[in-house]
Amino acid sequence: MDIDKLFKVPKLPAKRKLPDQPTPELLKKLRTEEPSSSSMPPPPTPNKGKSRAVTIEEERDVDADGDAADFAPGGDADYFAEEDDEGRFFGGGLTSEQKDILNIFDHAGGEGVQEDADALSLPAIRKLLTKFERVVNKNQDHRSKYPDDPTKFIDSEADLDASLKSLLPLAQAPTLTYPELVRSGTLTILIGLLSHENADIVIDVVEVIHELTDEDVVGDAEDEDEGELDPEEALKLLIETLLENSILELLVDNLKRLNEAEESDRQGAFHILGVFENIVGFDTKLATTLVEKTTIFSWLLQRVQEKKHDENRGYAAELLSILLQNNPQNRDQFCAQDGVEAYLTVLSQFRRRDPVDADETEFMENIFTGLCSALGVAQGKKLFIAAEGPDLMVIFMKERPVVCPLAIKAMDYAMSGAVDIPVCDTFVECAGLKPLFAVFMGKVGRKSKMKLTTEDTSHILGIMSSMLSTLASETPARIRLLTKFVEKDYEKVERLLEIRNEAQARLKATEKKIAREKQSMAEAEEEITEDEELQWYIQRLDGGLFTLQHTDYILAWTAMEDDGICTHAQRMLSRSNLSLQDIIGTLQIYYDNVDDDAEGSSTQRDILNNLIAVLGELI
């Protein structure tokens, strides 16, 4: 910045030399030649200092008629007009000319411009849709007549682009617009444009559909008039019509068509993934339909395996985790397309580095979430072992504190369920016990401290429970596991009892809350149903009972198999006025609430029954 120019003193008008006795005619002539006050700067303010003062142009006063121009700093037209009672101004910093230009744009009409959403009415909607159909037909006509001369249809293409954008506000009034979109056939025309030769038009269409299917249209819509569909029913009608016109297949085909090196195409792919998320979010059953009818899995798996991370890569991982959640059919399909190995390959990049930012961290978490879902089926566990998944998880436990809790969670999912798949044996063989118990004692990596969350602790206890249930008796793997509880003066047993006390305290608070709810229902003479009893049991599980059941299950196993552990556990329990009988009580609740439909439920019941019997003999 040139300081000299910024503070340059304006040139003063040259002095005129007057005769000693000027005549009246000369003075009159000089006055007529003198510049007007509106263009001539005022004389500089005298300065008593040594340096010359910087002069600024003074504000011109309002004349007698009330007219003024450039009367505020920067020429702000509302400098004084938008002030409060205390004289503070709220001007926008815009001159009158700039505000006039903005007003012209605000009130301008033309092709593709839609009125305020609050002013939407059925006649206005029909007029808009009719205009849109007319623009579509005009563009198709010009393209068919002059297929090799873009200059002939470029104007109609621009009109079509503007007309598509004018449809975006329709999402703000779903109860009015969605039934009309379906009834008039405009929605079918809109879907047909997904096959348009111009990719930019396709991207516009996808953006409109993304906006129309957004779940917010249900929550943001105003109350419907009598006789209209409610917002949820209107959205259902729209989505059903989209599905009838093969929207899923068309969108996946366009994903392959787009070149994400271009910004517009990248935005188009983002909107397509958004449409899938909206549709599946409205009805989770459609997740199976999406995978069965399209090749979306192959595209998503290829996208997440790309080296360069961007927003769409993260979105692809998120959509995959949604499609796999609570969906055994999609999990089987995922495994059939080598999804487990692909995910482990993606995760291997975090062996020597942590995610660089929050976006990549979220991407990694979504990959782990999808992997855990896939490990819920037997085929996923087999592929996990074949692709050396346990080895990678052990590395994360040893060296990567950021990834460690996610690796433990994945191992918990891999070990639970089917007992005929040797995941537990493989975990012990790849030296997983040492890092697992190090984390259990609050250490990870180079003996750095790690604060476990309640969820982390639950997953560690789940892994221990699975190993005690699965590892064959008298095998080296089981002996190595039991040795971990014996070493260092039974410190792991003491840690288990600490966790048990914490869980017991949380459970007592939960029980008090449930007791108050029961008392309120009794005073109101309300009947307690089975659903309410189930809900209270779930509250207890979340409030400490789940952790308590796992700690007592592990304590029962280890006490049954090792006399030293049994003696030490009884001594530690007695300090809190507890005994093995308290552990039996917890296991009995566990036994009574085993889900009969769960995989391996009968085996779990047998184990719990035997543990209760053995502990009863030890008392």
pLDDT, tens digit (0-9, with 9 covering 90-100), for 587-612: 999 999 988 777 767 788 999 999 99
pLDDT at 141 over 80: yes
Residue ending a domain, choose from 427, 447, 473: 427
Mean pLDDT computed over 180-208: 94
Cβ atoms 374, 380 nearer than 8 A: yes
The pLDDT assigned to 191 comes to 96
Mean pLDDT computed over 235-256: 95
Q: Are residues 421 and 506 in the same domain?
A: no
Q: Where does the pLDDT of residue 40 fall: very low under 50, low under 70, confident under 90, or very high at 90 and above?
A: very low
**How many CB atoms lie under 10 A from the CB of residue 87?**
7
* Whole-angstrom distance, CA of residue 69 vs CA of residue 50: 35
CA 168 to chain centre: 23
pLDDT at 21 over 90: no
pLDDT tens, position by position, 326-357? 999 999 999 999 999 999 999 999 998 999 99
Q: Are residues 290 and 416 in the same domain?
A: yes
pLDDT tens, position by position, 425-466? 999 999 999 999 999 998 765 555 667 888 999 999 999 999
Q: Which of 2-16, 131-145, 149-163, 290-304 has the lowest mean pLDDT?
A: 2-16
The answer, as to whether pTM is greater than 0.85, is no
Q: Where does the pLDDT of residue 230 fall: very low under 50, low under 70, confident under 90, or very high at 90 and above?
A: confident
Name the pairing type of β-strands 443-444 and 448-449. Answer: antiparallel
Q: Where does the pLDDT of residue 33 fall: very low under 50, low under 70, confident under 90, or very high at 90 and above?
A: low
Domain limits for position 329: 122-427
Report helix angle 263-282 to 199-212, nearest 10: 30
Phi-psi region of 110 (alpha: psi -120 to 50; beta: other; left: phi over 0): left
Torsion sign across C-alpha atoms 305, 310, 312, 314: positive
Query: Closest by alpha carbon to 299, among 253, 262, 244?
Result: 253
What is the chain's mean pLDDT, rounded? 83
The pLDDT assigned to 96 comes to 62
Residue 49 lies in a domain: no
Residue 195 lies in a domain: yes
Residue ending a domain, choose from 398, 427, 456: 427
Mean pLDDT computed over 180-206: 94
Mean pLDDT computed over 237-260: 95
Cβ atoms 547, 461 nearer than 8 A: yes
**161: CATH:** 1.25.10.10
Q: Are residues 414 and 507 in the same domain?
A: no
Mean pLDDT computed over 540-552: 95
Q: Which two tokens stand for residue 201?
A: 């038009």
Residue ending a domain, choose from 403, 427, 451: 427
Q: How many structural domains compose the chain? A: 2
What secondary structure does DSSP assign to 16-77, as a single string?
A: PPPPSS--HHHHHHHHHHSPPTTTSPPPPPP--SSSPPPP-PPPPPP-TTS--SS-SGGG-T
Q: Are residues 523 and 423 in the same domain?
A: no
Q: Is 448 helix (H, G, I), strand (E, B) or coil?
A: strand
